[in-house]
Amino acid sequence: MSTIILGIESSCDDTSASIIKNDTILSNVIAGQSVHEEYGGVVPELASRAHQQNIIPVVFKALKDAGITAEDVNAVAFTRGPGLLGSLLVGTSFAKGFALARNIPLIEIDHLQAHVLAHFIQEPDNPKKVPQFPFLCLLVSGGNSQIILVRNHLDMEIIGHTIDDAAGEAFDKCAKTIGLPYPGGPLIDKYAQQGNPDAFTFNKPKIPGLNYSFSGLKTSFLYFLRDQLKENPNFIDENIPSLCASLQKTIVEVLMGKLIRAAKETGIKEIALAGGVSANTGLQNAITTEAQKRGWQTYIPKLSYSTDNAAMIAITGYYKYMKGEFAGQDVVPYARNK
């Protein structure tokens, strides 16, 4: 028997709906929000309003693209958190209404767990290899940097996390200091490809265990620029590619250092990336190089499943549905990590 799940994602500035039939994606619709561009970051109040405008058309399109109607949906899964509370409330309220109207189960999803399970999304007629349990997942996004030990679809343990900024935040904040628009991560990646990664050095964090820290690197980058600009007011304009390449190299080395350590300590060789920063070419190259050296099997998600999307919410919903893990109508979102 097949199970059809409607997934809803509204944790930040993307309104997304997806239909999944068992583990196979039928549709994944994402409406971004250009309203934030002029502010250099996401404005929570504006995000909530845009979600309100987008949610119904996005769900309608997801149903239409999948070739089904609301009557065919067996359960509705939604992002409960972490994220912006006002944004989460829109998706949560919609999902509650849909479940109530259709008299079907409501399934609450942790956004970070969903990023990990994005690796299990199958596409019709194109079966792909999925990570074998247990595996390690480096989850790197604008809000999180974590190393997760994944024992099973619904059994995960965070064995390392950032104690301050996330890797994506480090990319975005440093990009801002050199005048690049938000989100700066993809632009740093682009410029880095023309620069010299060894041109400049920045302080790397010295944090014990498997945890990360990126706020010191951001400060080191800022002070370095301040000193250079005193000598040469055109320093940034003249060095953008090498600044980006050197910064990217440092962030990637920090991320890889702890991941290699986690792989050694656990003896696990199945290694996955997740989250928006997994699109970074420097990180992808580093993980591929380490895989060859260390005999790892690596899994890099497709871009459309690594940034925020509802397909990952729907697939997580599918695994929870199979275990009968449902939420009540009194469920409320949470803004911070559980």
Q: Which residues are annotated as a binding site for Fe cation?
A: 111, 115, 308
Which residues are part of a known binding site? 111, 115, 139-143, 172, 185, 189, 280, 308
Nearer to ligand KG4, 91 or 105 (CB): 91
Provide the binding-site residues for ligand KG4, judged by CB under 6 A.
Answer: 12, 141-143, 168, 171-172, 183-186, 189, 275-277, 279-280, 307-308
Which residues are part of a known binding site for substrate? 139-143, 172, 185, 189, 280
Q: How far is the CB of 242 from ligand KG4 (least distance, A)?
A: 17
Q: How far is the CB of 36 from ligand KG4 (least distance, A)?
A: 12
Closest CA to 166 of 183, 188, 141: 141
Nearer to ligand KG4, 10 or 220 (CB): 10
State in Å, rounded, how far the first CA of the chain is from the last one.
33
Nearer to ligand KG4, 27 or 307 (CB): 307
Nearer to ligand KG4, 171 or 296 (CB): 171
Distance, CA of 338 to CA of 336 (rounded, Å): 6
Distance, CA of 311 to CA of 265 (rounded, Å): 32
Phi and psi at residue 51, to the nearest 5°: -60, -40
Nearer to ligand KG4, 105 or 183 (CB): 183
Q: How far is the CB of 149 from ligand KG4 (least distance, A)?
A: 20
Strands 155-161 and 145-152: antiparallel
Q: How far is the CB of 189 from ligand KG4 (least distance, A)?
A: 4
Q: How far is the CB of 196 from ligand KG4 (least distance, A)?
A: 18
Residue 115 DSSP label? H
Distance, CA of 111 to CA of 74 (rounded, Å): 21
Distinct helix (H) and strand (E) counts, the chain: 10, 10
CB 245 within 8 A of CB 174: no
Q: How far is the CB of 186 from ligand KG4 (least distance, A)?
A: 4
Nearer to ligand KG4, 239 or 309 (CB): 309
- CA neighbours within 13 Å on the CB side: how many for 159? 21
- Biggest CA-to-CA distance, the chain: 70
Nearer to ligand KG4, 312 or 327 (CB): 312
Distance, CA of 250 to CA of 202 (rounded, Å): 7
> 36 CB contacts (<8 Å, ≥6 apart)?
13, 42, 43, 46, 47, 182
Nearer to ligand KG4, 59 or 166 (CB): 166
Residue by residue, DSSP assigns 40-93 as TS--HHHHHHHHHHHHHHHHHHHHHHHT--GGG--EEEEEEESS-HHHHHHHHH
Which residue is listed with tokens 């549905």? 321
Q: How far is the CB of 337 from ligand KG4 (least distance, A)?
A: 12
Q: How far is the CB of 102 from ligand KG4 (least distance, A)?
A: 29
CB 34 within 8 A of CB 41: no
